[in-house]
């Protein structure tokens, strides 16, 4: 009997800030609840507009232009936050986790 594994999908917005050196990477990641992602892409897509409004509300000039077309949906495990490279600069990405409840709270504000 095969075990059915739930997908752990997140809706992601990433951006890069050039600092004249190696730059900095940032990411906002939306999940259903803290540590629990969406099970279907269509479920995550439902929140694109609310997530876009959330990002615009907390807009940071370093993000550049925020549009829904820049959003990605993928498995949480595929978005690493740090990778050590002994032969050059290590990869790091600061991640801000957001839940659907936070979008709802902002909408009801």
Compute φ and ψ for 108, nearest 5 degrees: -90, 0
* Residue 30: predicted pLDDT: 95
Contacts of 95 (CB under 8 A, 6+ apart): 26, 27, 28, 29, 79, 81
Q: What is the pLDDT of residues 22-59, one digit of tens each?
A: 788 889 999 999 989 999 999 999 999 999 888 888 76
Mean pLDDT of 64-85: 82
* Residue 64: predicted pLDDT: 67
* pTM of the predicted model as reported, rounded to 2 decimal places: 0.80
Q: What DSSP element (H or E) covers 41?
A: helix 41-45
Confidence of residue 109 (pLDDT cuts 50, 70, 90): confident
Domain extent listing, the chain: 9-107
């Amino acid at each position: 009997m095969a075990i059915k594994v739930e997908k752990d999908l997140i809706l992601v917005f990433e951006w890069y800030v050039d600092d004249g050196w190696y730059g900095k990477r940032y990411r906002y990641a939306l999940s259903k609840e803290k540590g629990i992602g969406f099970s279907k892409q269509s479920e995550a897509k439902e929140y694109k507009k609310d997530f876009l409004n959330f990002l615009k509300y907390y807009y940071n000039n370093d993000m550049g232009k925020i549009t829904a077309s820049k959003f990605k949906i993928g498995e949480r495990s595929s978005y690493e936050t740090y990778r050590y490279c002994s032969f050059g600069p290590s990869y790091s990405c600061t991640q801000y986790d957001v839940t659907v409840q936070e979008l709802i709270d902002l909408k009801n504000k």
